[in-house]
A and B are shown apart, each in its own frame.
Chain A
Amino acid sequence: MKKILTAVTFAASITALVSGSAQADVCDTPSKLGDMGSFPGEVITISGSLMERDEEMMTNTLSCFEKATGAVIKYSGSRDFAALIVADLRSNNAPNIAIFPQPGLAGDMAKEGHLVPLGDDLAAWMTENYGAGSSWVDLGTYANASGKKDFYGFAYKMDLKSLVWYSPEQFEDNGYEIPSTMEELIALSDQMVSDGNTPWCIGVESGNATGWTATDWMEDLMLRTTSPENYDRWVSNDLPFNSPEVLNAMEVYGQFSRNDDYVAGGAAAVATTSFGDAPKGLFSSPASCMMHRQASFIPAFFPKKGEEVASGEADFFYFPPYASANLGNPVLGAGTLWTMTKESPATRAFFKFMSEASAHEAWMQQGTFLTAHKGADLSAYATPALRKQGEILSNATTFRFDASDLMPGAIGAGAFWSEMTNFANGQDAQTTADNIQAAWDAIK
């Protein structure tokens, strides 16, 4: 799942292009940028894993800081960020800022003493001004070498996962309605099957990260079948992986993914279909499936790279909760963490910049950016689709982070992924859960 975080909503990036949001005036935002100080010619170096369109939009956004202060920002993005940043930090080549897609790695680097605390003021600000603020602060708080906990990671640019993508035209042709409860969603799936259609496209293949799509499903279903408190206990393994609550969620996921009638290509195709190819089934001719559950970034993988969302060929609805379970509207999400790896006055000012509503709006205007900043003007969102996602984020009664990102690396980016892939290949739920729990016991 970690990969997802890096990706982030490519989605409306392209829709932003289509709707012609002028790149030139991204800094012209509804909220005004405060005084950022003056740092003419000072260089701020940033390393991260954002690339291509994401990188472009980030550069546009950061140019607002450059304009305001005269500082120069140099960004380097790489797929191999996780390996490169470790080498850079250990060899005294730290950039000023590192953008971590994984809280786990950021925590490790804090422990080695490579991160600079952002200060209690910023933590207090985030608690106050972010939706579900204290949980964002927790996500960026780690212990250093001596065990002292500090706030290191500033969450900026968020991702929404609890979405189901579909083709409105297909729904119209077939006469299907958007379900508002999980019961309705399952009834709709059954109706699709009886009509001779295939309801779901599911693909969990993703190179050496194969399985993360399945962990996202699991996490979303955990939030819909048991309490958020249990979810938190599950993340810290106070609730073992093979407990009835977790097993139940896995069985529910199995009802979707291991049902030959439900999945395009049959249940056996789940493990071998690339997560990026899976949504293409919605648009293939003829369509091979009707629905696809995936995070907000997925339109980048649609055949027209997300243009479908702007033109109305693709849309999404909220992955609904069970009406019977009474658990409110849970939402699963993630975000990138910006950390200070080499201190300088300009870098300090940059973190102040990130707390400005204007810095959020500048990116919102370009698309592919969701924020929990309560002060940001929602009208700045580039497209109605993004605004709708922003609303889902703000209407959430429960917001939880991607569990596999919070679990220790050996689980969240290891056993959980690989065992869920085995589950897709036919291993039963009990064995799957026992194996993950055994892997967890082994690293305790």
Chain B
Amino acid sequence: MVSRTLSHTVLALIVFVWIVPFVALVTTSLRSEIASKTSGFWTAFTPTELGHRFSTHDKGQEMEVIELTGNIFDRLNDEDNSFPVSGNVKSIFIKRRVQDPENPDKTKLIRKLVPPGEPMVVRGGSFVFQANGDFIWTFPEKTLPKPKKLDAFINQDAVFGTKAYVEVLFEDKQVPNALISSFIVTIPATIIPITIAAFAAYAFSWMQFPGRDWLFILIVCLMVVPTQLAFLPILKGFSGIASWATALNHWFTNCEVTSSCQVASKSFATLWVTHTAFGLPLAIYLLRNYIVGLPRELLQSARIDGANHLQIFVKIIVPLSVPALASYSIFQFLWVWNDLIVALYIGPFDNTDLVFPIRLEKQLGTFGDQLHLLNASAVISMIVPVIVFLSMQRYFIRGLLAGSVKGG
């Protein structure tokens, strides 16, 4: 009983730790840029006191007045109302230089927090504001007041908005574009290696040929080759193939070598090939361990019934291996979907062809000042893997066990 409570507590703790960053990300993506930069996400749900700078009126108001009225909240929301500020004004911070009473030659700076209802001197007029934001600015005679910026401390209500999402998804086409590019890369880069690996795994488990085990060990060893080490040789190879393909293209179609028949050495296809190559060792290893554990009797009876290898593979092995295939495809899908470095070095570089992780990186801006957009994009980029995972999770758990529990 005690151990059960303990394990539940530990589990709850782990879930909490995992969920906090996600909640933080989603919350931040729904807050205004200024709020998310000045206060933590946990302050987003309750009223918080924040400083706001507002100007009393717009520039170029050509009217002589004795009394100027307005509302601080209206002024603040006038410029940008995607995250309307509401609440009550606690105080206004005022600074002014006056004659120093002790030293007539010098001036002195006055700094003061003025509460609602108390008049203060602003540009020769008397400025009074209320907690609800209304203010009256009266002058001794008719004047044409210059706009004045004041610092107001506002106990601000919680406010959320979808501005960042709208901006990311609709105002600039690059994020939707990147989503499509990511699918163009990810789907073939998942299907191709899994198809090849399934055939190879069958061969390694149920076909007899010389050197089979040594070959298998070699492939397992290939799993440890780091992608990063291979970039230069791979790129060299692709550029060789590309120039060869360009020449061939030129030969057949008689196009201008310099422009139209140039075959790019970095493209979606090179990404598919690279991801396939680096995904295969693990895929073969995983699937082979699963397929080798399928009941021998099943295959033998198929043999007796006259089935050849291809028929056995298609009609028996594939349907029985769905859990393993699904769990591997989740692995591969997530890896390719989240991959930045391979796409950066080997993928296409046209702006319209960039995959999602590169777009996210670019969204940071040259100097990392687009964080509010990045949050929204990051949430969008998470949705796809979550859908993939949820839709295939029942296979995933069975598939995870597949490698360890043998026999049947």
- With A and B bound together, what is the CA distance between A82 and B37 in angstroms? 30
- With A and B bound together, what is the CA distance between A93 and B153 in angstroms? 57
Residue in chain B with minimal CB distance to A170: B95
Q: A51-B365, A51-B366 are in contact. Are A93 and B97 (CB under 8 A)?
A: no
Query: Which of A197, A297, A311, A344 interacts with B109 by CB under 8 Å?
Result: A197
B262 adjacent to A43 (CB under 8 Å): yes
Among B107, B231, B351, B365, max chain A CB count under 10 A is at: B365
Q: A41-B259, A51-B362 are in contact. Are A174 and B109 (CB under 8 A)?
A: yes
Q: Is A300 an interface residue (CB 8 A)?
A: yes
B109 adjacent to A91 (CB under 8 Å): no
Residue in chain B with minimal CB distance to A305: B369
- With A and B bound together, what is the CA distance between A425 and B394 in angstroms? 54
Q: A91-B239, A174-B97 are in contact. Are A84 and B345 (CB under 8 A)?
A: yes
Query: Which of A6, A76, A196, A280 interacts with B349 by CB under 8 Å?
Result: A76
A300 adjacent to B266 (CB under 8 Å): no
B30-56 vs A, CB cutoff 8 Å, 1 = contact: the mask equals 000010011000000000000111000
Question: Which chain A residues border B345 with CB–CB below 8 Å?
Answer: 84, 87
B93 adjacent to A49 (CB under 8 Å): no
B351 adjacent to A76 (CB under 8 Å): yes
Shortest CB distance B256–A (Å) = 7
Query: Which of A297, A313, A346 interacts with B149 by CB under 8 Å?
Result: A313
B53 adjacent to A175 (CB under 8 Å): no
Q: Is B350 an interface residue (CB 8 A)?
A: yes
Q: Is B185 an interface residue (CB 8 A)?
A: no
- With A and B bound together, what is the CA distance between A131 and B149 in angstroms? 40
Q: Is B131 an interface residue (CB 8 A)?
A: no
Interface residues of A in 72-90 (CB under 8 A from B): 72, 74-80, 84, 87-88, 90
Question: Which chain A residues border B361 with CB–CB below 8 Å?
Answer: 78-80
Among B238, B259, B361, max chain A CB count under 10 A is at: B259
Q: A42-B259, A78-B344, A283-B53 are in contact. Are A195 and B369 (CB under 8 A)?
A: no
Q: A75-B351, A285-B152 are in contact. Are A87 and B235 (CB under 8 A)?
A: yes
Q: Is A146 an interface residue (CB 8 A)?
A: no
Interface residues of A in 1-15 (CB under 8 A from B): 3, 6-7, 10
- With A and B bound together, what is the CA distance between A79 and B362 in angstroms? 7
A276 adjacent to B369 (CB under 8 Å): yes
- With A and B bound together, what is the CA distance between A346 and B345 in angstroms? 26
Shortest CB distance B197–A (Å) = 28
Question: Which chain A residues border B232 with CB–CB below 8 Å?
Answer: 87, 90-91
Question: Which chain B residues border A52 with CB–CB below 8 Å?
Answer: 362, 365-366, 370
Shortest CB distance A7–B (Å) = 5
Interface residues of B in 344-361 (CB under 8 A from A): 344-345, 349-351, 358, 361
Question: Which chain A residues border B93 with CB–CB below 8 Å?
Answer: 285-286
Question: Which chain A residues border B265 with CB–CB below 8 Å?
Answer: 93
Shortest CB distance B81–A (Å) = 15
B362 adjacent to A78 (CB under 8 Å): yes
Q: Is A301 an interface residue (CB 8 A)?
A: yes
Shortest CB distance A169–B (Å) = 5
Q: Is B368 an interface residue (CB 8 A)?
A: yes
Question: Which chain B residues border A301 with CB–CB below 8 Å?
Answer: 367, 369
A74 adjacent to B151 (CB under 8 Å): no
Question: Which chain A residues border B109 with CB–CB below 8 Å?
Answer: 174-175, 195-197
Question: Which chain A residues border B153 with CB–CB below 8 Å?
Answer: 285
Q: Is B400 an interface residue (CB 8 A)?
A: no
- With A and B bound together, what is the CA distance between A8 and B200 in angstroms? 53
Question: Which chain B residues border A6 with CB–CB below 8 Å?
Answer: 366
Q: Is B4 an interface residue (CB 8 A)?
A: no
Classify the interface of chain B: helix, strand, loop or mixed: mixed
B107 adjacent to A284 (CB under 8 Å): no
A41 adjacent to B256 (CB under 8 Å): yes
A285 adjacent to B259 (CB under 8 Å): no
Query: Which of A45, A50, A91 interacts with B235 by CB under 8 Å?
Result: A91
Question: Which chain A residues border B53 with CB–CB below 8 Å?
Answer: 283, 285
- With A and B bound together, what is the CA distance between A169 and B256 in angstroms? 61
Question: Which chain B residues border A45 with CB–CB below 8 Å?
Answer: 349
- With A and B bound together, what is the CA distance between A280 and B358 in angstroms? 28
Question: Which chain A residues border B52 with CB–CB below 8 Å?
Answer: 285
Query: Which of B238, B240, B369 interacts with A300 by CB under 8 Å?
Result: B369
B106-124 vs A, CB cutoff 8 Å, 1 = contact: the mask equals 0101010000000000000
- With A and B bound together, what is the CA distance between A78 and B233 in angstroms? 22
Among A6, A43, A297, max chain B CB count under 10 A is at: A43
Q: Is A409 an interface residue (CB 8 A)?
A: no
B239 adjacent to A79 (CB under 8 Å): no
Interface residues of B in 230-251 (CB under 8 A from A): 231-233, 235-236, 238-240
- With A and B bound together, what is the CA distance between A178 and B366 in angstroms? 31
Residue in chain B with minimal CB distance to A176: B97
Q: Is A92 an interface residue (CB 8 A)?
A: yes
Residue in chain B with minimal CB distance to A302: B369
Residue in chain A with minimal CB distance to B54: A285
Shortest CB distance B167–A (Å) = 13
Question: Which chain A residues border B368 with CB–CB below 8 Å?
Answer: 276
Question: Which chain B residues border A78 with CB–CB below 8 Å?
Answer: 344, 358, 361-362
A204-238 vs B, CB cutoff 8 Å, 1 = contact: the mask equals 00000000000000000000000000000000000
Residue in chain B with minimal CB distance to A71: B259
- With A and B bound together, what is the CA distance between A173 and B304 in angstroms? 97
Residue in chain B with minimal CB distance to A346: B258
Q: Is A54 an interface residue (CB 8 A)?
A: yes
A88 adjacent to B235 (CB under 8 Å): yes
Residue in chain B with minimal CB distance to A4: B367
A276 adjacent to B367 (CB under 8 Å): yes
Shortest CB distance A55–B (Å) = 8
Q: Is A408 an interface residue (CB 8 A)?
A: no
Q: Is B334 an interface residue (CB 8 A)?
A: no
Shortest CB distance B33–A (Å) = 8
Question: Which chain B residues border A79 with CB–CB below 8 Å?
Answer: 361-362, 364, 366
Query: Which of B233, B258, B349, B362 interacts with A344 by CB under 8 Å?
Result: B258
B259 adjacent to A74 (CB under 8 Å): no
Question: Which chain A residues border B367 with CB–CB below 8 Å?
Answer: 3, 7, 10, 276, 297, 300-301
Residue in chain A with minimal CB distance to B34: A303
Question: Which chain B residues border A285 with CB–CB below 8 Å?
Answer: 51-53, 93, 151-153
Shortest CB distance A42–B (Å) = 5
Q: Could you list 27 A-B pairs, sorted by A, with CB under 8 Å?
A: A6-B366, A42-B259, A43-B262, A50-B366, A52-B365, A74-B349, A76-B350, A77-B362, A78-B344, A79-B366, A87-B232, A87-B235, A91-B231, A92-B235, A93-B235, A93-B266, A169-B149, A276-B367, A285-B53, A285-B153, A286-B51, A286-B151, A300-B367, A300-B369, A301-B367, A303-B34, A311-B59
A positions within 8 Å CB-CB of B: 3, 6-7, 10, 41-43, 45, 47, 49-52, 54, 72, 74-80, 84, 87-88, 90-93, 169, 173-175, 195-197, 276, 280, 283-287, 297, 300-301, 303, 305, 311, 313, 344, 346
B positions within 8 Å CB-CB of A: 34, 37-38, 51-53, 59, 93, 95-97, 107, 109, 111, 149, 151-153, 231-233, 235-236, 238-240, 256, 258-260, 262, 265-266, 344-345, 349-351, 358, 361-362, 364-370
Q: A47-B349, A285-B93, A303-B34 are in contact. List 16 more A-B contacts (CB 8 A).
A: A41-B256, A51-B365, A52-B365, A52-B370, A74-B349, A76-B350, A79-B361, A92-B235, A93-B235, A285-B53, A285-B153, A286-B93, A286-B95, A301-B367, A313-B149, A344-B258
